[in-house]
Amino acid sequence: MPSLEQACEYGGSGELSAPRLRSDTPERAGLDPGQLRHLVQEVQNLTLGERPWAAGAVVVVGRGPVIAVEEAAGWAVRYASYDPRADAGVELPPDARVPMTVDTPFDLASLTKLFTSIAAVQQIERGTLGIDARVGAYLPDFRAAAERGITVRALLTHTSGLRPELPLHDCADDTERLAMLRAERPVGAPGTYLYSDLNPLLLQHVLERNTGRTLDVLIHDGITRPLGMTATRFGPCPGAAATEDQRRPWAKADRGMLRGVVHDENAWALGGVAGHAGLFSTGRDLAILCRALLAGGAYGPARILGPDFVELMLTEPGLGFALDQPWFMGELAGRGAAGHTGFTGTSLVLDPATDTFLVLLTNRVHPRRREPDSRPRAAAGTRVARAVRGM
């Protein structure tokens, strides 16, 4: 990670100020233009044909304070519904479709977890939350977690042993949902990695109980407002890219074609604000977050974390972030790249070793979810890695 001196420069007021993002040529960013042209074409190709990998996409690539690529492809809204008999989307008339633009917000799905993790590390930095404190110290009524000695660190690293998810969407009301969470016991051995939506959900309860503020307020006041991420918020978000014609049996609820409301069934059942899903954002806003983390926690005059705590998040084993995962990072993986994916088709990768970031947002679940396939994400990461090496 860069030092504070490397990450910041003096602004006109005499105070330390980290450089803001600006759009410029790949050459000015220190990236090979040929590789980035290939990347843009490959992203466009993902949205073409009768059965595209994704209906639409936005890709943003930058190095240092320079955005070298910011492109949109395909459709924010292409389908009216999904036809299970034809196993295909029912396309809207051309004049009723909504083109994708670089300003289109996306349902971030599990990228929300990164914001929850940053909010937690902010409290750790302030000394109001102990990273190795037991969850039971903050949530004594969550007896199962308290009895097993689950820690804040275990929630941040997915080593609590909690199962991947619970059917909260099938509960009758919030009282029943809360009772289910309170009673949930780990199924895995403590310290063993098991990716789970329940970890950020419990972390949300820890943060809200500890601070007296709701998660949406913590994220707005501590992350998005100081960074100027004006397009990032919990839903509803009416102008967002459409997601799924959500119906059983392929989904867990019958809600019809979704646009501007959270796709994740549990986050929806919880009112749209959840530690694991619910945020909407744009490629440019996520580029700002990436830039801030690569600059040691600062962007413009704002600082959301100190460099040491950013480093804590982005080095083994990672707090909230996945590290060096070739399956979605491609050749960016291997030297400490950090990132995450989201079920709706979203992803971001930041590479401290080369001061580079990649944001790829798609509405891959429009008109319905498919088997997981991160090969295009990995291919995009490889293009960016080769663009760095090419210069």
Domain with residue 387: its CATH number is 3.40.710.10
pLDDT digits (tens, 9 = 90+) for 189-200: 889 999 999 999
Task: For residues 345-373, give the mean pLDDT.
Answer: 97
312 lies in some domain: yes
**Residue found by looking up tokens 């004006």 in the block:** 230
- Residue 337 structure tokens: 């790249």
Is 67 within the bounds of a domain?
yes
The rounded distance, in Å, linking the Cα atoms of 294 and 21 is: 12
Q: pLDDT-derived band of residue 312, with 50, 70 and 90 as boundaries? A: very high
> Is 96 contained in some domain?
no
Residue with tokens 């909407």: 280
Asked if the model's pLDDT at residue 308 lies above 90, the reply is yes
- pLDDT at residue number 102: 98
Looking at the DSSP bridge assignments, the partners of residue 70 are 60
In a domain, 291, yes or no: yes
Measure Cα distances from 281 to 176, 183, 361, 368 in Å: 31, 33, 9, 21
| Residue found under tokens 């100081």 | 226
- Using CB atoms within 10 A of its CB, is residue 217 exposed (0-12), middle (13-18) or buried (19+)? middle
Q: What per-residue confidence (pLDDT) applies to 6?
A: 36
Which regions of 78-180 does DSSP assign to beta strands (E)?
79-83, 88-91, 98-99, 106-107
Where does the pLDDT of residue 1 fall: very low under 50, low under 70, confident under 90, or very high at 90 and above? very low
| Residue 218 within a domain | yes
What average pLDDT is seen over the chain?
94
Q: Is 350 left (phi over 0), alpha (psi -120 to 50) or beta?
A: beta
pTM of the entire predicted model? 0.95
Q: CA 206 to CA 60: how far, in whole Å?
A: 34
Asked if residue 282 is part of any domain, the answer here is yes
Q: Using 50, 70 and 90 to split pLDDT, how confident is the model at 17? A: confident
CA distance 356 to 61: 8
Helices (H), the chain: 4-7, 26-29, 33-46, 112-126, 135-138, 143-147, 152-157, 174-183, 198-211, 215-219, 225-227, 265-269, 283-294, 307-314, 326-329, 375-389
pLDDT in tens, 209-222: 999 999 999 999 99
Structure tokens at 348: 């971001």
| pLDDT tens digit sequence for 161-200 | 999 999 999 999 999 999 999 999 999 988 999 999 999 9
Query: Which residues, 6+ apart, have CB-to-CB distance to 339 below 8 Å?
Result: 321, 322, 325, 328, 329, 347, 348, 349, 350
276, 112 Cβ separation under 8 angstroms? yes
Burial bucket for residue 163 (CB in 10 Å: 0-12, 13-18, 19+): middle
Whether 146 maps to a domain, the answer reads yes
- Which residue range(s) make up the domain with 168? 1-87+104-391
pLDDT tops 70 at residue 15: no
Count of domains for the chain: 1
Does residue 344 fall inside a structural domain? yes
